[in-house]
Amino acid sequence: MKHPGNLWSIINQQLTAFMSAQSTCEWCLGGLDSSQRFLCHSCQQQLPHNLLACSQCAEPAAVADMRRCGRCQRRPPAFEYASTAFTYEAPIDRWVLRCKDQHSLHWHDRLNQLTRSHFAPPAVMPDAVTFIPSSRYKRLRRGFNLSESLAASVALCIDRPLLSLFQLQAQQDQRGLSVAQRHANLQHSLQCLPPSALPDVSEFGHILVVDDIMTSGATMHRAAQLLKQRGVKLVGCWALARATKSRPAT
């Protein structure tokens, strides 16, 4: 008689094969051909792409010819440019929450697929890619840091090294905080790794920082400040999605 563990292993393999061989579109339930992973071509086009946005902070723009928003012109952030693939609206918001709050590796893989297919390299190629860390508690609970894996996908797309540079010292969650509260929280929580673990970042003149969701830009601003204090000349930011005034990240 076979060990029950073998039976579970077979069921698990069959289930994984079934999940990866999805034949209907996740969004419209229409049919998929063999070249499509989980979205049909029509739904790919209808995703909320963040095409019209401020070139510095990626905030969605109301007019097509705007280069930098008024806020960036009055008080520029410490990073030079930012872009995101999408705005944080349906269905992207639901998929990110499923990935993070339900600890879904299935959705984790799909968001990485979206990153590899929708990442647009910046005009000037960065020397290295890094990411915003998550707290140790969240990483243990989820089993992954979404920002880190998205950054790995980005680094693969542009063939650049992926660096781990930051750590979170405070445990307070950024979600639900006002812009001022986020700045205050981050001023103390986001830090560079200790000198013994930190590579010489001044070797990299231009670093791209990756996060899953860009909300106010406060996290990226703090990351860029830290990198520039250590000799980095140019900092760019990329995120999967940008929160909007009508749909802030919760």
Residues in the site for Zn ion, rule: CB under 5 A? Answer: 25, 27-28, 30, 40, 43, 54, 56-57, 69, 72
Residue 235 dihedral angles phi and psi, to the nearest 5°: -125, 125
Structure tokens at 172: 């307070």
Find the helix packing angle between 92-101 and 146-158, rounded to 10°: 120
Q: Which is nearer to Zn ion, 87 or 189 (CB)?
A: 87
Q: How far is the CB of 56 from Zn ion (least distance, A)?
A: 5
What is the closest distance, in whole angstroms, from the C-beta atom of residue 55 to Zn ion in the complex? 8
CB of 215 to Zn ion, least distance (A): 13
Least spacing, CB of residue 139 vs Zn ion, in Å? 30
CA–CA distance, 133 with 51 (Å, rounded to integer): 27
Q: Which is nearer to Zn ion, 122 or 133 (CB)?
A: 122
Smallest distance from Zn ion to CB 214, Å: 11
Between the alpha carbon of residue 238 and those of residues 104, 138, 143, 180, the distances in Å are 23, 22, 23, 22
Instruction: Give the nearer residue to Zn ion in terms of CB position, either 30 or 161.
Output: 30
CB distance 240 to 213 below 8 Å: yes
Least distance between Zn ion and beta carbon 29 (Å): 7
Nearer to Zn ion, 170 or 179 (CB): 179
Greatest Cα pair distance, the chain, in angstroms, is 74
Q: Which is nearer to Zn ion, 146 or 237 (CB)?
A: 237
Q: Which is nearer to Zn ion, 153 or 216 (CB)?
A: 216
CB-wise, 31 or 143, nearer to Zn ion? Answer: 31
- For residue 44, what are the CA distances in angstroms to 49, 52, 86, 113? 9, 18, 11, 12
CB of 90 to Zn ion, least distance (A): 14
What gap in Å lies between CA 143 and CA 212, rounded to an integer?
16
